[in-house]
Structure 1
């Protein structure tokens, strides 16, 4: 079986990105694949598309937190809400990118930062905890430097240019799959499900919209 290259776009502020990260090996069991873990700024994706994040809509915020805790429970993934959420993810994203010379990070780095946020119930942006992370990780660039900031912007701009609108998002073989529940769909595609060779993938968005101002 040919090894597939998956680009996993993530932001540590997203509980769904954390759940998808933890569940990925199980979801893709039996497949040969290589993953590029790519930090992006979720807030910039949402702003570009004129969207609010789930945590910015009070009833949706409550549902989101209940659902992600349920998903962790039902899938056997340890998850605990951080002390405050949402929070500013920029220090974590920049810290992640400071461990590499390009726009992708290792699974170890992604795991360390995701679990910093979603296990233990601590304050994700606490200065002391961030300093401990910086000491734990092997930084090859200045996390607060212009090079890392530019890398995060470049990652995010490239994701927007390819039509990504949120995280987690997975790119493989020219297709994009979004969300924790998108893992099952991606796995089916990689396993050769005949549905993906039919008309529905391309035809799904190819219809007019009756919403004023829509470009669909």
Structure 2
């Protein structure tokens, strides 16, 4: 049985779509999943990138595309009242509900749907209070232990080469994005392409031109 680590941030609509689609995308295969929250903004900062919502025209396209993807795959989805928002409280809450840094699928699903269903304000204090009461975390979400966990997840993600979410890791390989789910399935099915040279040789392709920052 293969084990998949699902890296995500609740702020990402693509992470929500991938989370909802994963069971159907991998139906019939033998695998297990652990869910690992990470602050997407920390990855962007490390790599010197802007998020999709920080580029006006890309922001508009992102929202159109994710709503279309949700529609085409039959996934209920509503944009939150404002986006982007600060996801720290939600990430910490999810981590506070676990004893090993990996929230359950139930917890992860509950928080994702808090954000991406109903069209309400994901960061509203009263809604967060109600969500916290519903999940009844074992740890204090704003406590030092939970904050340290989230920081450690970010450091691990960067060390593993993550640059965005969702990212699904299996056997040392990273599959990035909602549209990588079919590729992940083919890998788990044993597609011989993954035993060939293509996966590793792309790392050796020379850089022809590099823009100065």
TM (norm. structure 1) is 0.96
Unaligned 5+ segments in structure 1 are: none
Residues 99 and 137 of structure 1 are in contact (CA less than 8 Å); yes or no, is this contact kept in structure 2? yes
- SS of 2:36's equivalent? strand
User: What is residue 15 of structure 1 aligned with on the other side?
Assistant: 13
Residues 69-127 of structure 1: CA deviation (Å, up to 9, x unaligned): 00000000000000000000000000000101222110000000000000000000000
Are residue 122 (structure 1) and residue 120 (structure 2) matched?
Answer: yes
Pairing partner for 1:152 from 136, 150, 153: 150
Corresponding position of 1:166: 164
Write the mapping of 1:79-158 to structure 2, written as runs, cut at 5 A. 79-158=77-156
The answer to which structure has the higher helix fraction is: 2
Match of residue 196 from structure 2: 198
Tell whether the 8 Å contact from 1:83 to 1:121 is kept in structure 2 after alignment: yes
Q: Which residue of 2 aligns with 1:182?
A: 180
Following the alignment from structure 1 to structure 2, what is the Cα–Cα distance between the partners of residues 206 and 187? 26
Give the Cα separation in 2 of the matches to 1:146 and 1:211: 44
Cα distance between partner residues in 1 of 2:141 and 2:157: 21
Among 195, 208, 211, the residue aligned to 2:209:
211
Distance 1:125 1:67 in 2: 23
Confirm whether residue 68 of structure 1 aligns to residue 84 of structure 2. Answer: no
Residue by residue over 1:161-190, the C-alpha shift from the partner in whole angstroms, topping out at 9 and shown as x without a partner, is 000000000000110000000111111000
User: What is the Cα deviation at residue 138 of structure 1?
Assistant: 2.5
TM-score, reference length from structure 2: 0.98
Q: Displacement of 1:212 after TM fit?
A: 3.3
Q: Tell me the distance in 2 between the aligned counterparts of 1:73 and 1:205.
A: 36
Match of 2:4 among 3, 6, 25: 6
Query: Runs of 4 or more off by more than 6 Å in structure 1?
Result: none
Superposed CA RMSD: 1.0
Q: CA deviation at 1:206?
A: 1.0
- The Cα of 1:194 is off from its aligned counterpart by 1.0
Pairwise CA distance, 1:30: 1.0
How many angstroms does 1:202 deviate by?
A: 0.6
